């Protein structure tokens, strides 16, 4: 029976030009014969969980995922009932209610500041860098932060809201460089604690708060890498909060990973092990949610830059792993490596995008000047 599963798996992976026990960087080495049945039955979950368990390996996971995603092997694999359950749950239930809002902070962003300090740039920016003229991760992240400031047209003394402020990288940069006042909100206790320390002495307030609780006016609003946690059923309410809190002449920048699929289905492995209750928006979601509330002024896609960012994150994580390994263990290392390199492959093949969308409340008089 094992040989039948193996033959089927070999034919399947051959569609993506991946050979089992081959010698090319993107070929996979199988160490447990139960792998074949597990991946054929479990799809994304089976593939990821068997990797975490050490049942298979690959010299270059990012290249492997480029080939697998491009060949759409997911369409050929029978879905695990757990994956079907997750898809149904995401479609019919609101998994991102205010009562559940802090779960992603506890499960992902509170994992450990030592992990993220060793993985990210010096400013601790956990979103895509802007590599147009950059050669290092530090340069790419500073360029991205400055790009956002320029798109907003920040002026000294203005008050800015950062929805999902992380460790305070953007508001610290904006307060120092553009002399603005900032309020940052996050659902992660670990992020809030470190953000307050990093922004000490600046006109910055860090709150442990759900976005739905904010009810005050700001000159501009930014949200960098948080919209992925909002959920389809809450997109309209999210945009209503932005309109309620934005001054009449203010701008809002939505920086988010975007999906090319219209199905709004979470990846089962990513949803279970990395980003609980999260889902990627598509362009239609954003347009429909903002319609009648905000006017879109600009839409900038630099998704290919996330490949470069993720590869640098993995390089940093791998280099610094010996310093933190005692806190996490080998299975965590394999999980985190899989996460970073699978995502890099997805952005490289352009199955995922990175969008910066600029909105105004009722239109910029004379038109908005797009900045790149």
Catalytic annotation present for 343: yes
Joined tokens for residue 109: 């962003």
The burial class, CB within 10 Å (0-12 / 13-18 / 19+), for 75 is: exposed
Chain centroid to CA 23: 32
Query: Dihedral through CA 51, CA 55, CA 56, CA 62, nearest 10?
Result: 0
Say if CB 251 and CB 296 are below 8 A apart.
no
DSSP 160-185: EEEET-TTSHHHHHHHHHH--EEEEE
Q: Which two tokens stand for residue 151?
A: 């798109």
Residue with tokens 């988010």: 256
Q: Provide the token pair at 359.
A: 């909105």
Q: Which residues contact 200 (CB under 8 A, 6 or more apart)?
A: none
Q: How far apart are CA 302 and CA 125, in angstroms?
A: 16
Q: Of 59, 35, 73, nearest to 341 (Cα)?
A: 59
Strands (E), the chain: 28-30, 56-58, 159-163, 181-186, 204-208, 218-224, 246-259, 295-301, 352-360
Q: Using an 8 Å Cβ cutoff, are 347 and 307 in contact?
A: yes
Which member of 66, 182, 245, 343 is catalytic?
343
Name the residues annotated as catalytic: 343
């Amino acid at each position: 029976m094992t040989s039948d599963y193996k033959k089927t798996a070999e034919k399947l992976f051959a569609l993506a030009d991946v050979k089992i026990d081959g010698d090319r960087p993107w070929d996979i080495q199988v160490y447990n014969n139960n792998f074949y049945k597990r991946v054929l039955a479990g799809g994304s979950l089976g593939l990821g969980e068997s990797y975490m368990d050490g049942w298979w390996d690959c010299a270059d996971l990012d290249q492997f995922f480029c080939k697998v995603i491009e060949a759409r092997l997911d369409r050929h694999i029978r879905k695990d009932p757990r994956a079907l359950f997750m898809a149904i749950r995401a479609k019919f239930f609101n998994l991102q209610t205010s009562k559940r809002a802090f779960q992603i902070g506890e499960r992902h962003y509170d994992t450990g500041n030592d992990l993220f300090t060793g993985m990210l740039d010096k400013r601790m920016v956990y979103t895509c860098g802007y590599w147009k003229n950059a050669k290092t991760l530090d340069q790419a992240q500073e360029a991205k932060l400055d790009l956002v400031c320029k798109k907003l047209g920040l002026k000294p003394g203005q008050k800015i809201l950062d929805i999902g402020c992380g460790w305070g990288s953007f508001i610290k940069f904006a307060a120092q460089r553009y002399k603005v006042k900032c309020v940052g909100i996050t659902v992660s206790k670990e992020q809030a604690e470190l953000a307050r320390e990093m922004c000490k002495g600046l006109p910055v307030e860090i709150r442990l708060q759900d976005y739905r609780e904010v009810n005050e006016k700001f000159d501009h609003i930014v949200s960098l890498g948080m919209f992925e946690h909002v959920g389809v059923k809450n997109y309209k309410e999210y945009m209503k909060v932005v309109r309620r809190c934005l001054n009449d002449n203010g701008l809002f920048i939505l920086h988010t990973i975007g999906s090319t699929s219209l199905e709004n289905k979470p990846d089962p492995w990513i949803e279970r092990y990395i980003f609980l209750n999260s889902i990627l928006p598509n362009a239609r979601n954003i347009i429909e949610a903002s319609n009648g509330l905000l006017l879109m002024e600009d839409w900038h896609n630099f998704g290919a830059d996330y490949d470069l960012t993720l590869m640098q994150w993995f390089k940093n994580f791998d280099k610094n792993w010996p310093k933190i390994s005692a806190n996490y263990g080998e299975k965590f290392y394999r999980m985190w490596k899989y996460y970073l390199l699978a995502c890099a492959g997805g952005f490289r093949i352009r199955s995922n995008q990175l969008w910066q969308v600029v909105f105004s409340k009722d239109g910029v008089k004379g038109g908005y000047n797009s900045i790149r």
